[in-house]
Amino acid sequence: MPPPSALPWRSGTQCMRQSLRPSARLLSTTRTLRSSKNPLRNTASAPGREQAMAKYRRSMARSAAGMVACAAAMYGIIATDVFGAGESGEQSGAMKLDGPDGFGGDASVIRIQGRDGAEQVETGTSTIPFFPSVIRLPARLGGLEAGDEVDEQGEDEYQLLGVGVRTVSFLKIQVYVVGLYVATGDISELQRRLVRTAVCPPDGEGVVGTVGALSATSLVSMERSRLRELLLDAERGDAVWDAVLRADGLRTAFRVVPTRNTDFLHLRDGWVRGVTGRAQRANAKVLEAGGTAQGEFQDDSFGAAMNDFKGLFGGGQRKNVPKGQTLVLMRNARGELDALFHPDPAQPIRFLGRVSDERISRLVWLNYLAGKNVSSESARQSVVDGVMAIVERPVGTVVQKVV
């Protein structure tokens, strides 16, 4: 029998062996790892589901009724004109777009007005300080004789494109104020001609050089600057303006108001000198080119047309033109030149006569628009400014010009 002191040691050794022995892994459990119930599965009863569906149907019905009521209320407000929106303008079935008052219904109409829509435009001289931005001129003058009164019925609207002062001598003595007007219905045609001339100028060097330029309807800033230089060029400007004016279908007019007392012969002599000088230079160019063809202004018919032009302001018309009276030179759609005289607003307009040859009116117009020396440099600059405002907008759109 072992001694008693050895028994505790033996029992401690057994406990240590039991503690170092690996415990058995539980390979099963009595607790359920996953619930057998699906939380997405509706456990409601059939009557509960019917009640929920009925609630949804009632909500949809109330929403539809609300939308119908709002639509009916909006229609009622518009139809009854509760706020009086239709009383400020004339009612019509056509669509009306926003724009300044006075715009025509034709899409090709362009409004050119003075500063801030003013009806009067400053001329730059205190003698005749203002020019009207819009005038009305006779639509037909056929059948009239020199000195006849012009019937004011059947007039067309013309809008101011540019205005300036005619001066003479190195002292810059003011003679008259002149303004170029264009028929309102022909402004879109003027747009097309200007853009077309910028794309394909007579000298062959185009302002617009990008692909698709032939279909351009307006010019951007850089292209307008180059077109301005072209129109003001002393050499190339003649051909450019000639191409714009030569074709039929563009009605324009020059309105002339003397700043001092003058007479018809003095005015006529200035125009005749300009026309003769241009015709002679054109004929000289033909001779220098060595061509055998006759120049445009060398035939007898041109000489006869010049005599007709001189006769407009001679003969029975030998009288003074006091300061402030109005003389109008019209160029109709066929290029014929008609002269009108309006001595006083209270008196009727007088018909001075007509020159049927298109070349006469074209050369008179070129005296103001093209070349190194023009009849009024301020008028030419103002007209070119008006041209720039036109070509920056697409053809046939509305534009407001600040003169």
- pLDDT band, very low/low/confident/very high, at 250 (cuts 50, 70, 90): very high
- pLDDT band, very low/low/confident/very high, at 30 (cuts 50, 70, 90): low
pLDDT over 70 at 240, yes or no: yes
- pLDDT band, very low/low/confident/very high, at 114 (cuts 50, 70, 90): very low
- pLDDT band, very low/low/confident/very high, at 35 (cuts 50, 70, 90): low
pLDDT over 80 at 9, yes or no: no
Could you tell me which residues come within 8 angstroms of residue 104 by beta carbon, excluding any fewer than 6 positions away?
A: 184
Whole-number Å distance between alpha carbons of 396 and 385: 19
Write out pLDDT tens, residues 44-69. 567 778 888 888 889 999 999 999 99
- pLDDT band, very low/low/confident/very high, at 89 (cuts 50, 70, 90): very low
Whole-number Å distance between alpha carbons of 400 and 111: 6
| Radius of gyration of the chain from its Cα atoms, rounded to whole angstroms | 44
Q: Say if CB 341 and CB 221 are below 8 A apart.
A: no
Q: 51 lies in a domain?
A: no
pLDDT of residue 143: 81
- Domain total in the chain: 1
Burial annotation 207-222 (CB, 10 A radius, 16+ → b, else e): bbeeeebeebebbeee
Q: Which of 29-33, 79-83, 193-197, 347-351 is predicted with the least confidence, judged by mean pLDDT?
A: 29-33
pLDDT over 60 at 7, yes or no: no
Helix or strand (DSSP H, E) at 351: strand 350-355
Compute the average pLDDT of residues 359-384: 92
pLDDT of residue 347: 85
Closest alpha carbon to 207 in 245, 233, 186, 184 = 233
Model pTM above 0.85: no
Whole-number Å distance between alpha carbons of 200 and 194: 10
Q: 403 lies in a domain?
A: no
Whole-number Å distance between alpha carbons of 360 and 330: 12
- pLDDT band, very low/low/confident/very high, at 203 (cuts 50, 70, 90): low
Compute the average pLDDT of residues 249-265: 92
pLDDT of residue 31: 54
Helices (H) and strands (E) in the chain, counts: 9, 11
Compute the average pLDDT of residues 5-14: 54
Write out pLDDT tens, residues 285-340. 888 877 667 778 888 899 999 999 998 887 555 578 889 999 999 999 999 999 99
pLDDT of residue 369: 93
- Average model confidence (pLDDT) across the chain: 78
pLDDT over 90 at 163, yes or no: yes
> Which CATH number fits the domain that encloses residue 369?
3.50.70.10
Q: How much of the chain is helix, strand and coil, in % rounded to 5?
A: 40, 15, 40
Q: Say if CB 101 and CB 153 are below 8 A apart.
A: no
Q: Is 377 helix (H, G, I), strand (E, B) or coil?
A: helix
pLDDT over 60 at 101, yes or no: no
pLDDT of residue 104: 36
Which percentage of the chain shows pLDDT scores above 70? 72
Q: 30 lies in a domain?
A: no
Most confident of 69-78, 156-165, 217-226: 156-165
pLDDT of residue 42: 55
Instruction: Report residue 256: phi and psi, to 5°.
Output: -115, 125
Whole-number Å distance between alpha carbons of 64 and 66: 5
Whole-number Å distance between alpha carbons of 191 and 395: 6
Residue 192, domain extent? 115-391
- pLDDT band, very low/low/confident/very high, at 41 (cuts 50, 70, 90): low
pLDDT of residue 197: 81
pLDDT of residue 121: 87
Compute the average pLDDT of residues 272-279: 92
Q: Which of 7-16, 129-138, 198-207, 274-283 is predicted with the least confidence, judged by mean pLDDT?
A: 7-16
Most confident of 17-26, 44-53, 116-125, 267-276: 267-276
Q: 31 lies in a domain?
A: no
- Cβ count within 10 A of residue 320: 13
Q: For the packed helices 358-369 and 264-289, what is the interaxial angle rounded to 10 degrees?
A: 100
Q: 98 lies in a domain?
A: no
pLDDT over 50 at 269, yes or no: yes
Q: Say if CB 364 and CB 390 are below 8 A apart.
A: no
Helix or strand (DSSP H, E) at 155: strand 155-168
Q: 91 lies in a domain?
A: no
Q: Any bridge partners for residue 156, and if so which? A: 137
Q: 5 lies in a domain?
A: no
- pLDDT band, very low/low/confident/very high, at 12 (cuts 50, 70, 90): low
Closest alpha carbon to 331 in 303, 355, 309 = 355
> Comparing 201 with 264, which gets the higher pLDDT?
264
- Cβ count within 10 A of residue 258: 24
pLDDT of residue 157: 92
Q: 41 lies in a domain?
A: no
